[in-house]
Each structure stands twice: as C-alpha cells, then as structure tokens.
Amino acid sequence: MNKFLNKLIKPSTRAFYSEKVTDPGYSFLTRIHGYVYGRWTYFYIGVGTGRHPLTSVIKPLLRALTGNKNKSRKKPNSGKQEFANGYHGKALLIHEAKKLVKVNKSINLGDLEQVIPYTRAREVILKNPDHIVALECPCRASSANPCLPLDVCLVIGEPFAGFILEHHPKRSRKINSDEAATILEQEHKRGHVQHAFFKDAMLDRFYAICNCCSCCCGAMQAHRNGIPMLASSGFTVDINPEDCLGCGECSRSCQFRAITMNEKHPQVDWEKCMGCGICVDKCKQDCLSMKLDPRKCPPLEVSRLVEQNIQHTE
C-alpha cells in the first residue's frame, strides 16, 4: 500500500507534507489548505478575486466550512483583519527584492514580528534559495485584459518551487537568480510593485515575490477595499519642492493613489504610501527620494536581518 501511495503522490507533494510535521500549531486542515492553494492556484485566486464564474457558489460553501456562525458577535471588519493575518504581502524596494532572489545559502529568520506586522505567517525560511520558479501570475491570468508578460511571479526555495514546477509544468519554468533579478528590474521599470508574499497555509512563511499592478493584483484591490493585506516597505516618499516642475508623473505612476497634485505641486498621503519607490524612478527631475519612516514597520532587509541573527546566536 505504501509503495502504491508513493507512486501516486508526487515527490514535491511528499516534500511539502514533510515540512513542519512536529509543529502542533500547523494543523492537518491547514496543510490541506496549502495543498489546494498550490495545486489549484488559478482556481483559488479566481474565486478569491471574484473573477471565476463559480465564485457565487464556492464562497458561501467556504464560509459555511470555516464556521462563520458567530458573525454577528464579531467586531466590524474583524473578518477582513483575520484574513489579512494569514495571507499578506510586504512591499519591497527594488534593491531589496533583488537581494532576496540572490540569497546563496539557506536562512532561517524566525518570528519577524516588527518587520511583518501580522499575527501569523511572518517567517523567512529559505531552503535551497537558488531554486527559483517563474510562474504565470494567477491574478493576471484571471484578468480579462491582463498586463503582460504573465510569468512574473517568482516562487523561491523549497518545498514551494519544486511543488509549483511539478504541478504547473505548462505555466512555470525554472530560472536562476540572475534571471529572477532581471524580471524584477523589468517589472519595476514597468511601474509594478514588488511584494514578498506570506501565507499561513504555505507553512506560515515567505514563499514568493510577486510583481503587482493595481489593475490585476487581487491583493492590491483587496487592500484598497479595506482588507489590510499589504504592509509598507518601511519607507515613505519625500519630495523636494524646489526641483519639482509639477509634471504629475509621480501621481500617475503611483499604484496606491498616495500622491495627488495640488496646484501642480504633489502631495503625499503617508498612510497610503507603501514605500515601493516606483515614483522615485519615474521622476525625471530626481526630486523624489525614499525616507525611512518611523511611523511604519521596519524594512525587510534580508542581509541585515541575517547578520543580526548570526550575532544573536553567537
């Protein structure tokens, strides 16, 4: 029987199920959730964004299965907050995103409570970080008129990269770190935002970098609609008004609608600004810069966090 099951179950599935087996907080149902998310990613995201034709049928079933019977007792928006706690992204400046795909050794950064301000899924544990897969973005793939190219979601490390490559061979390809960095740079130039994504069902940790646009990205749209799925990079854009010509390019390029033009002068809403740095590179006058913002959670700076972790363990 065991030999039959071993032949039936893909090696990447066994690798995924073998992770966190001793963690009592990671339940069997959560593991099943992770398998469903990874195995039927496009259906999952299609339903989550409301773009799949079966959304109206599937969502009530999911609510029934998750037991929202005490909905009336919950505080307003508590369901939105709970969802965000288990599935969220952290905005990255482009140079930090490229560092994350160029990690050359396995790392284990545990409970990053300050950096990733959610109650779950806030670890950066990279096994075989050189195993990187470019996946067709499920959000773009489910859009009627998607941004191109499609293969811009970067799945990093094991068991995630192997799982995606084995279960989605026609929509994914193995790439190296240089190719991954090139994809990030090209997407940044297109004005798309780099997010490190974390999910409770994906072993409670970081598993991918997505290159997000507000027209296609389900997470960005959910965030705009009151589900706090995205955390700031830790920076806010700063404007030097003396050099500004009032061209409005910064406002047009902002994916988060954080910059508005007031009599040809840009105004920044620091709460809306996620510190992605897109506007800085779009400004031809070089009058924008990113400033560390103490009102926001600290940046996800992998090299610095690794160094701090080494010093702490010595």
Residue ranges covered by each domain of the chain: 10-60+84-232+302-313, 235-292
- pLDDT tens figures, 66-80: 444 444 455 556 677
Give the pLDDT band (50/70/90) at residue 308: confident
Weakest mean pLDDT among 170-179, 242-251, 304-313: 304-313
- Residue bearing the bigger pLDDT, 39 or 8: 39
Q: Please report the pLDDT score of residue 60 as a whole number.
A: 77
DSSP bridge pairs for 156: 132
For residue 313, is pLDDT > 60? no
Dihedral through CA 132, CA 201, CA 304, CA 236, nearest 10? 100
193-199 and 259-262 as β-strands: parallel, antiparallel, unpaired?
Answer: unpaired
Give the pLDDT band (50/70/90) at residue 62: low
Weakest mean pLDDT among 3-12, 109-118, 221-230, 246-255: 3-12
* CATH dotted code for 235-292: 3.30.70.20
> What average pLDDT does the segment 291-300 reach?
97
- How far apart (Å, rounded) are the C-alpha atoms in residues 202 and 87? 9
- How far apart (Å, rounded) are the C-alpha atoms in residues 212 and 184? 11
Weakest mean pLDDT among 34-43, 74-83, 120-129: 74-83
Q: Please report the pLDDT score of residue 69 as a whole number.
A: 46
Buried-exposed string 70-81: b where 16+ CB fall within 10 A, e elsewhere: eeeeeeeeeeee
For residue 95, is pLDDT > 60? yes
Q: Please report the pLDDT score of residue 310 as a whole number.
A: 58
For residue 92, is pLDDT > 90? yes
- Kindly tell me the burial class for residue 201, based on how many C-beta atoms sit within 10 Å of its own C-beta (0-12, 13-18, 19 or more): buried
Give the pLDDT band (50/70/90) at residue 113: very high
Dihedral through CA 9, CA 6, CA 30, CA 222, nearest 10? -20
Integer CA distances (angstroms), 190 to 63, 97, 153, 230, 232, in order? 37, 15, 15, 20, 20
- pLDDT tens figures, 181-220: 999 999 999 999 999 999 999 999 999 999 999 999 999 9
For residue 4, is pLDDT > 70? no
Give the pLDDT band (50/70/90) at residue 265: confident
> What average pLDDT does the segment 237-245 reach?
91
- pLDDT tens figures, 131-173: 999 999 999 999 999 999 999 999 999 999 999 999 999 999 9
Average pLDDT for the chain: 90
pTM over 0.85: yes
Contact 264, 275 (CB under 8 A): no
DSSP character string of the chain: -HHHHHHHS-HHHHHHHHTTTT-TTS-HHHHHHHHHHHHTHHHHHHHHTT-STTHHHHHHHHHHHHTGGGGGGSPTTHHHHHHHHHEEEEEE-HHHHHHHTT--S-EEE---TTTS-SSS--BEEEEEEEEEEEE--HHHHTSSS--S-S--EEEEEETHHHHHHHH-TTTEEEE-HHHHHHHHHHHHHTTPEEEEEEETTTTTEEEEEEEE-TTT-HHHHHHHTT---EE--SEEEEE-TTT-----HHHHH-TT--EEEETTEEEE-TTT-----HHHHH-TT--EEEEE-TTSPPP--HHHHHHHHHHHH-
> What average pLDDT does the segment 36-53 reach?
92
Question: Of all residues in the chain, what percent carry a pLDDT higher than 90?
Answer: 74
HEC profile of 133-152:
EEECCHHHHCCCCCCCCCCC
